[in-house]
Chains A and B, each alone.
Chain A
Amino acid sequence: MTLAIFIGLFALVSGLGFVASRWRRPDTMAHLDEWGLGGRNFGTWISWFLIGGDLYTAYTFVAVPALVFGAGAMGFFAVPYTVVVYPLVFLVLIRLWSVSREHGYVTPADFVRGRFGSPGLALAVAVTGIVATMPYIALQLVGIEAVLKSMGITGHWPIIVAFGILAAYTYQSGLRAPALIAFVKDILIYVVILVAVIYIPSQLGGWGSIFDAADAKFAKSPNPNDGILLNASNQLQYVTLAFGSALALFLYPHSVTGVLAARDRNVIKRNMSALPAYSLLLGLIALLGYMAIAADVGPVGKDSNTIVPQLFDKMFPDWFTGVAFAAIGIGALVPAAIMSIAAANLFTRNIYKEYLNRAATPAQEASVSKVTSLVVKVGAVLCILLLEPQFSIDLQLIGGVIILQTLPAVGLGLFTRWFHRAGLIAGWAAGLAAGLWMLYQIPGANGRLHFGGSAFPLSQLGLDTKVTIYAGLLAVTVNLLVAAIATLLLRGRVPDGADATEPAHYEEAAATVSAGRASR
């Protein structure tokens, strides 16, 4: 029963994915604005579903409650993180939307190239984006696998089939496919979570006893850093992780893709008020971890990501478990599609067109991007088949830290042209080195010596304290310092690039689309 409903809903959205190419049909699909950005014409509702479906991934749905299950309050960082992110997007990405509309930019690296007149810096931003996105796609597979494991299905063939279908309809329909599927995904998720947070606590004696059960569990554990509240040494980690993750989120290429597909600035602004509905959802999802403790549910084997599927399996009737599992499984498809499109656009615009075929026509760009999206998905499947899942999780952790290193060029570049292009490259390199070094130094659970998490102990820097801090935020501080010092040293001595943008371009409300397209 569970499996039949799961497969039925999966088949439904696969059909939608193929039909999507005819939805809001363009004159031609052979243009990156159409295939890769859905025509740059999505209104408020579509953008809400698309961006929501994009940012809140299947991995979020299984990993955040798993973290809350294992560590308690620390896992709740996802809530302040998503509160902080929308005002930041409001301030930052809206400027990127305007300047991209004016100049026909498709990727954040396109903007960097125009702003700083530096193909090299754009290449650094593009490669960083692709490298950070790949393991993120692989993690969506981890999300599907967690559900499959709970249904007792082992082996890799279901994943390969699912991703094969996903690759086929993304190839055909581009960004329209995830936009259409996002409606189904988000409605399923909302229904499942609302039912879960009303029904499950009623079965477990109310919210008070759920929190008390969690408190009792953590009181018994030997780990000093778990508990339903934070302690003196992990508060800084909590807030820096929330803030750093918020900064990283809008630098990820797939977030930019979702935002650039909006029709006008007001669509984005309205969404910054409406998207926090998902934050509330995420907060409630996080608490599923405590419900699992109170319901005495354990993971399948040692895979803590199976906590939520196991909880659903225990608490819900069979048919509703099928709906819930489908919600998570479909939840993996939307972000995976958008991420692969974003990575493909980066390759096409900032590597293929820049270095391989400068005279590429829009039709050639679109077809290169379509093929690249297939390659990216094959890569993600290979990650899962050939590597331990833990390795993908490590890579995603690293991905968050390295995507942050594009903050000075992309994020600050939207506000100031003060930095020298070579200074930004130096800062990027220094930030990457510092970030990787710190992650390497962090020991983890189960006797791991390296890449055990993102909480960097300040004692490693010779400070006499137990306080930890998010490695990414420290790394981007190094990045900014180096970029600033290098800028001061290089100014006037080494020629800087030209700026193709003007201050007014960042404020354009709904610029003349066709004029913008022609200008690159």
Chain B
Amino acid sequence: MPEPHSTEEPGTPGRSPGIRSQWGWLLAVPVIIPLLTFLYNGDGPRLLGFPRFYWLQLAFIAIGVTTTTIVYRRGRA
């Protein structure tokens, strides 16, 4: 079974825990935004035929991916 990245991340010594935990707060963004119905509970504008309710919530998935990736890369330990 191929295991990509299996040789990396020996750890990043010297980075203070404070920096790590600050980046951790970024994870609040994808938790809170999908819960704000006023952002997406509407029909227009439509995108490729999708009402805003649907395309915008699907777009939130990208926000989730982006933030978890940033926190992972910044806070690697």
Chain A residues with CB under 8 Å of chain B are: 24, 43-46, 73, 76, 79-80, 82-84, 86-88, 90-91, 206-211, 228-230, 235, 238-239, 242-243, 265-266, 269-270, 272-273, 276, 279-280, 283, 287, 507, 509
Contact = CB atoms under 8 A, between A and B. Distances in A.
Contacts of B18: none
A276 B62 CA distance: 8
A88 to B, nearest CB: 7
B41 A229 contact: yes
Contacts of A44: 3-5
Contact of A280 (B6, B50, B61, B76): B61
Contacts of B5: 44, 266, 270
B29 to A, nearest CB: 8
A198 to B, nearest CB: 12
Given A90-B27, A239-B37, A242-B34, A266 B9 contact: yes
Nearest to A264: B9
B10 to A, nearest CB: 10
A16 B30 CA distance: 38
B25 to A, nearest CB: 10
A230 B2 CA distance: 45
Instruction: Assign chain B's interface to a size class.
Output: 35 or more
A314 B20 CA distance: 52
Given A235-B41, A239-B35, A87 B49 contact: no
A283 B61 contact: yes
Contacts of A265: 77
Contact of A45 (B4, B9, B63): B4
In this complex, which of A80, A82, A206, A208 has the most chain B Cβ atoms within 10 angstroms of its Cβ?
A80
Given A80-B57, A87-B64, 20 more contacts: A45-B1, A45-B3, A76-B57, A79-B58, A79-B61, A80-B35, A80-B60, A83-B61, A206-B49, A229-B51, A239-B34, A239-B37, A243-B31, A266-B5, A269-B72, A270-B5, A273-B69, A279-B64, A283-B57, A507-B77
12 contacts: A44-B4, A80-B57, A86-B30, A88-B31, A90-B68, A211-B50, A211-B54, A228-B53, A242-B35, A272-B68, A273-B68, A507-B77
Nearest to A88: B31
Contacts of B24: 91
B11 A211 contact: no
A207 B64 CA distance: 25
A84 B67 CA distance: 12
Nearest to B42: A229
A43 B1 CA distance: 10
A86 B53 contact: no
A181 to B, nearest CB: 14
Contacts of A507: 77
Contacts of A45: 1-4
Contacts of A211: 49-51, 54
B22 to A, nearest CB: 14
A228 B57 contact: no
B4 to A, nearest CB: 7
A84 to B, nearest CB: 5
